[in-house]
Structure 1
């Protein structure tokens, strides 16, 4: 565009010089035509801008770390008038690690333009149009093009096998505990306690009550698996975060394969506010990762181990598993 403006300035200077040296109607006509030409060029280009919109679409919502994230740049132009030399300046950012880059591409209303971004680290890779424009017929004026919405891809860690994972949910019956059954009822397991107002008479242990000279009731117990809380620290270098999330995903999927829903928690590295997300399936895990990957992780921050956990509602016994880059720690509380 700069070269075209210089060329047009030279053309205007030549027309002015021609008008000075040759004072005829032809020289005047040429000068006026050259001066009016940019306005005509701009007016002819304006109809092509009506309703145009840029779209950034990822080929896949997620990729595995080490692969390539593919985006498609589409230019939608409902107007029958063509856009002149459309361009777009793209910027992409890994919201987790802060890594970023940019590219300048020539957009096209007739075909999709591919953009390949290396997915070197885990995170949420967001690609957006920083600026999009076309030109008038002479290429002298930039004309704005609708930038549309950003596109995003989750960069997930590769599959990882856990070592000695069975011990993580150890304890009696693989983390099963006995808790009072609401409403009572028949059952093989029960506990003895003092009578409380409202207890049904059928639950009274009459024989033992006569011996102790006070009412004792049988409280029916039922098995209930201990709630599992998985935590990690949301700070560190990109390499450390890669290893941490690999361990986290491996542990979460291992628990889901054994029908063990759980909670994933981490502390905001600057404020220490705890984020808690229940995970009961693959979709919930991806939603949790999307939230985590959208939060910037500094090199240093507050550890979730520095404060108290958010205990799941209605939970009794809780097993706390803390994920580190080297593996999983804990298994009890």
Structure 2
């Protein structure tokens, strides 16, 4: 804005000198136009500020290295006779860092705030204020808005270098079953309260004492995947991408599993995964955690 006024006064001075040496209608015309210009700019700024409004189109979720942006649509006369400058704060929820990019809107009130998708994470974009300038840049009016948008940059599933061994992931064990029709069972002595349906008559006859079946069922214990949150974002992106693929691989084969995360506080946080929705919710939660600092 200072440069605009400086350029204006220099131009006005040059035009006045030109008028002194060339007193014809053209010099008069140029001098009048330059004199009236700030007043016209002030009127345009006031009208634009009175009719100013804007809408946003925000992608709530994008993928790592995917090109995306937040679109700002300026409406009213401000989109025709002025330009706008947006003051935006971008906060990385995983690292805690912030930056303040400046965004200009020229093309008929449409501007874009580019989304940083270089690394996975959760980013809060906050539009602090919007300055509406006249088309020449002499005057402006400031509109406070304080709008926040949470954009999640998700990992893209990547096949791990080490081949997934499904047999190693499935850890078999047995536990007591509620159904008496199980093919797996043990035999023990009768206790008061046992159902007569559970009596093993053949074994009881051989041992000459009352024996009952104790049914068991075969189950698979939780397979576990562990991720350490680190400030090495490249390595963390790789871990998350491989975890996404491995977890989806297990879900497709109906293998429940558990993802363990060591957060910045060094406390392990566990997430049980049974289906795709569990995986999506888990990834969202992980991307809102703070990464550990260097030690």
Separation in structure 2 between the aligned mates of residue 218 and residue 228 of structure 1, nearest angstrom: 30
- 158-167 vs 197-206, which deviates more? 158-167
- Whether 2:177 is the aligned partner of 1:181: answer yes
Give, in angstroms, the shift of residue 74 of structure 1: 1.7
- Whether 2:61 is the aligned partner of 1:61: answer yes
Question: CA offsets per residue over residues 154-199 of structure 1, 9 Å max, x none?
Answer: 14145123524216635xxx433332221x3323221123434432
Match of 1:104 among 102, 105, 108: 102
Give, in angstroms, the shift of residue 72 of structure 1: 3.3
Question: CA offsets per residue over residues 20-67 of structure 1, 9 Å max, x none?
Answer: xxxxxxxxxxxxx99999986665344223xx2352523x82223xx2
TM-score w.r.t. the length of structure 1 is 0.65
Match of 2:292 among 278, 281, 298: 298
The answer for the alignment partner of 1:88 in structure 2 is: 86
SS at structure 1 position matched to 2:68: strand
TM-score w.r.t. the length of structure 2 is 0.72
Correspondence list, 1:243-258, <5 A: 243-258=238-253
Separation in structure 1 between the aligned mates of residue 110 and residue 133 of structure 2, nearest angstrom: 20
The answer for the alignment partner of 2:68 in structure 1 is: 70
Q: Decide whether the 8 Å contact of 1:194 with 1:217 is kept in 2.
A: yes
Match of 1:48 among 44, 48, 51: 51
Match of 2:254 among 245, 259, 271: 259
Q: Decide whether the 8 Å contact of 2:258 with 2:270 is kept in 1.
A: yes
What 5-or-longer segments of structure 2 have no aligned partner? 11-35
SS at structure 2 position matched to 1:146: strand
Give, in angstroms, the shift of residue 94 of structure 1: 3.7
- Whether 2:5 is the aligned partner of 1:2: answer no
Give, in angstroms, the shift of residue 281 of structure 1: 2.9
Separation in structure 1 between the aligned mates of residue 181 and residue 111 of structure 2, nearest angstrom: 68
SS at structure 2 position matched to 1:263: strand
Correspondence list, 1:122-137, <5 A: 122-135=120-133
What 5-or-longer segments of structure 1 have no aligned partner? 11-32, 302-333
Give, in angstroms, the shift of residue 239 of structure 1: 2.8
The answer for the alignment partner of 2:13 in structure 1 is: none
Separation in structure 1 between the aligned mates of residue 163 and residue 156 of structure 2, nearest angstrom: 20
User: How many residues are paired up?
Assistant: 269
Separation in structure 2 between the aligned mates of residue 300 and residue 168 of structure 1, nearest angstrom: 37
Q: Decide whether the 8 Å contact of 1:61 with 1:154 is kept in 2.
A: yes
Give, in angstroms, the shift of residue 69 of structure 1: 3.3
Give, in angstroms, the shift of residue 296 of structure 1: 1.8
Match of 1:284 among 278, 284, 290: 278
Q: Decide whether the 8 Å contact of 1:160 with 1:247 is kept in 2.
A: yes
The answer for the alignment partner of 1:146 in structure 2 is: 145
Question: CA offsets per residue over residues 288-321 of structure 1, 9 Å max, x none?
Answer: 11211111202348xxxxxxxxxxxxxxxxxxxx
Match of 2:198 among 199, 203, 221: 203
| Aligned CA distance change for structure 1 residues 76 and 193 (closer, same or farther; 3 Å) | farther
Q: Decide whether the 8 Å contact of 1:73 with 1:113 is kept in 2.
A: yes
Q: Decide whether the 8 Å contact of 2:42 with 2:134 is kept in 1.
A: no
SS at structure 2 position matched to 1:149: strand
The answer for the alignment partner of 1:160 in structure 2 is: 159
SS at structure 1 position matched to 2:284: helix
Q: Decide whether the 8 Å contact of 1:97 with 1:238 is kept in 2.
A: no
